[in-house]
Amino acid sequence: MLNQLIIIGRLTHDPETKILEDGRKVSDITLAVQRTFKNMDGNYDTDFIKITVWEGLATAIEAYCKKGVMVAVKARLQSWKYDLPDDRKLNMLEVVAERISYLSPSGKSDFKVSEESSVK
């Protein structure tokens, strides 16, 4: 079985990092990813994909990743189920980063952090 995503896009904002009660660090980033095809009006639509980044990888992106930077993210999908009132259920998908590669050319060296530092 395989659960793997590769997403390339630009950060829409600086990483938002939080320290949880148990001491773990988590950041949220959003990537703007332009679609590869035009819509009915002849324009390219853009998807905004929220990505969760954990622990050592969250620490690393604070130093290198700012709004507008282009990155490649290797990630996995994680599903959540919530019970709502009236016996309804809500299924949610979360994108969890496992590796981030810095792609923006600005004189900085490549930014690569392995998945061992991003385990939730």
User: Domain-by-domain residue ranges, the chain?
Assistant: 5-103
Q: How many angstroms separate the CA atoms of 109 and 89, rounded?
A: 46
Is 46's pLDDT higher than 70? Answer: yes
Q: Supply the mean pLDDT for the chain.
A: 85
Is 4's pLDDT higher than 50? Answer: yes
Q: How many angstroms separate the CA atoms of 110 and 104, rounded?
A: 9
Instruction: Quote the pLDDT of residue 31.
Output: 95
Q: How many angstroms separate the CA atoms of 82 and 92, rounded?
A: 8
Confidence at 42, pLDDT banded by 50, 70, 90:
very high
Instruction: Quote the pLDDT of residue 102.
Output: 87
Q: Cβ(49)–Cβ(31) under 8 Å? A: yes
Q: How many angstroms separate the CA atoms of 15 and 89, rounded?
A: 31
This prediction's pTM: 0.77
80 versus 109: the higher-pLDDT residue is: 80
Reduce the DSSP state of residue 117 to 3 states and report it. helix
Instruction: Quote the pLDDT of residue 113.
Output: 46
Is 61's pLDDT higher than 50? Answer: yes
25-38/5-11 β-pairing? antiparallel
* Tens digit of each residue's pLDDT (9 = 90 or more) over 5-40: 999 999 999 998 899 999 899 999 999 999 999 999
Q: How many angstroms separate the CA atoms of 71 and 106, rounded?
A: 13
Architecture per CATH, domain 5-103, reads as Beta Barrel (2.40)
How far is CA 13 from each of CA 41, 70, 90, 116, rounded to the nearest angstrom?
28, 12, 28, 25
Percent of the chain that is helix, strand, coil (3-state, to 5)? 10, 55, 30
* Tens digit of each residue's pLDDT (9 = 90 or more) over 80-99: 898 888 888 889 999 999 99
